[in-house]
Amino acid sequence: MTLAERYRRACETRSDIFEHLPLFAELAAEAEVIVELGVRTGVSTVAWLYGLPKHGRLFSVDIDPQPDLPDDPRWTFVQGDDTHPDTIAQLPARADIVFIDTSHDYHHTARELELYRWMVKRGGMIICHDTELEHPEGVVGPPYPWARY
């Protein structure tokens, strides 16, 4: 299945992220480097790659093994803890977009923001998924404070 076919299928298949995929592809079209934290089955990965220019690069990090996605020379998968220095060392120093969609644990997400904000180029952005969930499923700890507003 081609990347375009995978993207269309992902956009048509209900998931916790499918409504955001067109925006990801649109944002990727203007990016040179994207860092994706949290991959799971690769749904968002497909959208970032679909929109990314031919010269662009996507670096995806997850603690779980690489999902079954077609090879793409623009994509680098890094398996590891995204807060560990050895994992961060495998990523570019600068990125246009940092996408955070990992554990949804407040403390872990705060640590990711602390570590990765320095990576974002001037005019770039950090995008966080599921911030509207005060208590994400399976997460124990304080609620996201921004979920209340």
Question: Is 39 inside any structural domain?
Answer: yes
Name the token pair of 128.
Answer: 């966080």
Question: Is 82 inside any structural domain?
Answer: yes
Per-residue pLDDT, 147:
45
Give the separation between CA 76 and CA 89, rounded to whole angstroms.
13
- Asked if residues 139 and 30 have their Cβ atoms less than 8 Å apart, the reply is no
CATH number at residue 17: 3.40.50.150
pLDDT in tens, 117-138: 999 999 999 998 765 556 566 6
Question: Is 149 inside any structural domain?
Answer: no
Question: Is 148 inside any structural domain?
Answer: no
**What are the per-10-residue average pLDDT scores of the chain (149 residues)?**
95 93 97 97 97 98 95 97 98 98 85 96 90 60 53
Question: Is 100 inside any structural domain?
Answer: yes
Question: Is 38 inside any structural domain?
Answer: yes
Domain interval for residue 59: 3-130
**pTM (2 d.p.):** 0.89
Question: Is 59 inside any structural domain?
Answer: yes
Report CA-CA distances (Å) from 77 to 17, 33, 70, 116, 121.
Answer: 20, 14, 12, 17, 21
* Closest listed residue to residue 78, CA positions, set 98, 57, 88: 88
Per-residue pLDDT, 129:
78
Question: Is 145 inside any structural domain?
Answer: no
Per-residue pLDDT, 65:
97
Per-residue pLDDT, 106:
79
Q: How many domains does the chain have?
A: 1
Per-residue pLDDT, 139:
60
Read off the DSSP letter of residue 29.
T
